[in-house]
Amino acid sequence: MKQIVITVFIMLFAFNQVNAQKRDKVEYQQNWDKQKVFWGYYLGLNMKNYRISYKAEGDFINVTPAVGFDVGLIGDLRLHENLSLRLEPGLSSNTKELDFTYIPGGTKDSIRKVGATYLRVPLLLKFNTDRYNNIRPYVVGGVSYDYNFSSNEDNPDDNSDGEFRMKKSNFSYELGLGIDIYMPYFIFSPSIRGIFGINDELVRDNDPNSPWTGNVDHFTSRGIFLKLAFH
């Protein structure tokens, strides 16, 4: 009985100490969430791939992605205590290697390196939970217009001349999870996003029976982005 009483006493004491620490914890940036509009910037990494569907079985393209880099600005309009409209224009670069496994003959015919730099303009809705001390988790989702600066869509040459062509203007949607961390002088907001292309991004070769593009039914981007935002 004595041991039980001592154990209960220790547990109550520890519980009271934890509550006291929570009450005494300093909350940073207490007026931040009262702002209607705020700005920021982000840096990040991406790993982009392609989702490819085919008209017939047998001809497949292996994609080897590489890590890319992202940088951009943030504009946030608070619509409600837990909801905001966000614009995140920025630049995203990435390189991928395509291996046309069914085409023999070496690098010139079977390998294409696709490097691209995009201007991405995502329009997103951000849903925050209520703030807990100095953290505030959130989910974010929306659509993006992506302009490919590296596009060779207007080039008359195609894969028979070594040119793998992609469209200039593309659309995607993204979903993500993140957390706002309230620091003494700024808000640090890491998040992870899934990016999913909507339209077909491939420019077909001039020959409808091209061994590179003839069997491709749909060709679109997808990827994972890690963003580190600062407000």
Nearest CA-CA partner of 86 in 39, 114, 123: 123
- Pair 63, 86: CB distance under 8 Å: no
How is residue 210 written in tokens? Answer: 């091209």
CB-based contact 66:94 (threshold 8 Å): yes
Task: Return the pLDDT at 59.
Answer: 65
Walk along the chain (231 residues) and give the pLDDT tens digit of each residue.
444 444 444 444 444 444 544 554 788 888 888 889 989 999 999 999 999 998 887 668 888 888 999 999 999 999 988 999 999 999 999 998 888 887 765 556 788 888 889 999 999 999 999 988 888 999 999 999 999 998 888 888 888 888 889 999 999 999 999 999 998 989 999 999 999 999 999 999 988 888 888 888 999 999 999 999 999
Q: Residue 8, class by beta-carbon neighbours within 10 Å (0-12 exposed, 13-18 middle, 19+ buried)?
A: exposed
Q: Look at residue 209 in the predicted model and tell me its pLDDT.
A: 87
For position 74, what pLDDT does the model report? 96
Triad 150, 154, 160: Cα angle to 5°: 90
CA angle 59, 114, 170 (to 5 degrees): 90
C-beta atoms surrounding 176 within 10 Å: 20
**What domains does the chain contain, in order, with CATH numbers?**
37-59+68-92+116-230 (2.40.160.20)
Report the distance separating Cα 144 and Cα 149, nearest Å. 16
- Residue 77 burial class via C-beta count within 10 angstroms: exposed 0-12, middle 13-18, buried 19 and up: exposed
Query: Cβ–Cβ contacts within 10 Å for residue 195, how many?
Result: 23
> What pTM was estimated for this model as a whole?
0.80
